[in-house]
């Protein structure tokens, strides 16, 4: 499988590093197009991939073209790429850009749309993806191979789930980081030194998530286990419920989803 990345930024580098590192493809099979000299030099130095300033130099040899520019650069990049060859698969990771828009921009019908998230950079991502109906099984398998390099991947049959995933797993790391900050600030408020608070909170978040996943239990069951009658946890949970934490989170996700649909 020969791959051409259009855009050599953060996400393209995550994919390149993991695909080459796991031996899914060789560095010789990868070309990256990026207008920035420094990015091209870094990618070539670090991963030994082919690098180009414009797509014309390498697009023809690709089996799969991964579109990894910022969404606002789509209008600029589509004319530079021109027509894709029949049989070439386009995998777009552009947040919020619909299959319909991609199909119209490239006059092409072999297109996959994926929504990864930032932990993809350490291979712990959650990528939700779908494809135009004309994408056949072998191309679906190619897309799955590429996207699984970023962590977990879930194929969904309807594009609306990619939009929903944008609000849940796409923006999700930001929600988690905000909650981490709030816990640390709360600990500092009661007098704990910040470095100590950060260490405690980070490990509590990581440990709780691993425990939840490994136990296979419902989060409410695990929460009830640490909530003794009249105890400290019950007092804290009462304050969170009084502040409508669940409603607030539900409204936050609904706002992100509405914004995604409006993009």
Q: Which residues contact 143 (CB under 8 A, 6 or more apart)?
A: 64, 89, 91, 112, 114, 129, 131, 135
Q: Which residue is nearest to ligand NAP (CB)?
A: 9
- Stretch of 92-100, 132-140, 153-161, 192-200 lying at the interface with ligand NAP (CB under 6 A): 92-100
Q: Which is nearer to ligand NAP, 89 or 120 (CB)?
A: 120
Q: In what order do the strands lie in the sheet with 50-52?
A: 50-52, 30-33, 3-6, 64-67, 89-92, 111-115, 125-131, 151-155
Rounded least distance, CB 214 to ligand NAP, Å = 26
Indicate the DSSP class of residue 132.
-
Rounded least distance, CB 47 to ligand NAP, Å = 15
Q: Are 129 and 66 in contact (CB under 8 A)?
A: no
Q: Is the dihedral of CA 40, 70, 166, 248 positive or negative?
A: positive
Is 93 one of the binding residues for ligand NAP (CB under 6 A)?
A: yes
Rounded least distance, CB 105 to ligand NAP, Å = 13
Q: Which is nearer to ligand NAP, 67 or 197 (CB)?
A: 67
Is 44 one of the binding residues for ligand NAP (CB under 6 A)?
A: no
Is 123 one of the binding residues for ligand NAP (CB under 6 A)?
A: no
Which 163-192 residues touch ligand NAP, going by CB under 6 A? 170
Give the pair of three-digit tokens for residue 203.
């490990």
Q: How far apart are CA 144 and CA 17, in angstroms?
A: 17
Q: Which is nearer to ligand NAP, 94 or 135 (CB)?
A: 94
- Cα separation values, 139 from 30, 182, 185, 216, Å: 17, 43, 47, 33
Is 64 one of the binding residues for ligand NAP (CB under 6 A)?
A: no
Residues binding ligand NAP (CB under 6 A):
6-12, 33-36, 39, 68-71, 73, 76-77, 80, 93-95, 116-118, 170
């Amino acid at each position: 499988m020969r791959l051409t990345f259009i855009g050599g930024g953060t996400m393209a580098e995550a994919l390149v590093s993991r695909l080459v590192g796991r031996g899914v493809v060789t560095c010789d099979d990868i070309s990256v197009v990026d207008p920035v000299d420094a990015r091209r030099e870094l990618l070539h130095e670090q991963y030994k991939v082919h690098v180009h300033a414009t797509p014309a130099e390498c697009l023809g040899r690709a089996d799969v073209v991964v579109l990894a520019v910022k969404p606002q650069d789509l209008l600029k990049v589509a004319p530079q790429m021109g027509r894709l060859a029949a049989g070439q698969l386009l995998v777009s990771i552009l947040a919020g850009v619909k299959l319909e828009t991609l199909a119209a921009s490239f006059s092409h019908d072999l297109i996959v749309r994926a929504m990864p998230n930032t932990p993809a950079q350490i291979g712990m991502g959650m990528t939700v993806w779908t494809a135009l109906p004309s994408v056949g099984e072998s191309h679906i398998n190619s897309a799955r191979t590429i996207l699984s390099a970023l962590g977990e991947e879930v194929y969904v049959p309807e594009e609306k789930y990619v939009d929903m995933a944008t609000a849940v797993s796409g923006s999700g790391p930001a929600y988690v980081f905000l909650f981490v900050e709030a816990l640390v600030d709360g600990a500092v408020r009661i007098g704990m030194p910040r470095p100590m608070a950060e260490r405690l909170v980070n490990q509590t978040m990581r440990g709780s998530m691993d425990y939840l996943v490994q136990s296979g239990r419902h989060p409410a069951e695990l929460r009830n286990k640490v909530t003794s009658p009249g105890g400290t946890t019950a007092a804290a949970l009462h304050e969170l419920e009084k502040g409508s934490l669940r409603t607030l989170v539900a409204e936050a996700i609904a706002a992100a989803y509405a914004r995604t649909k409006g993009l």
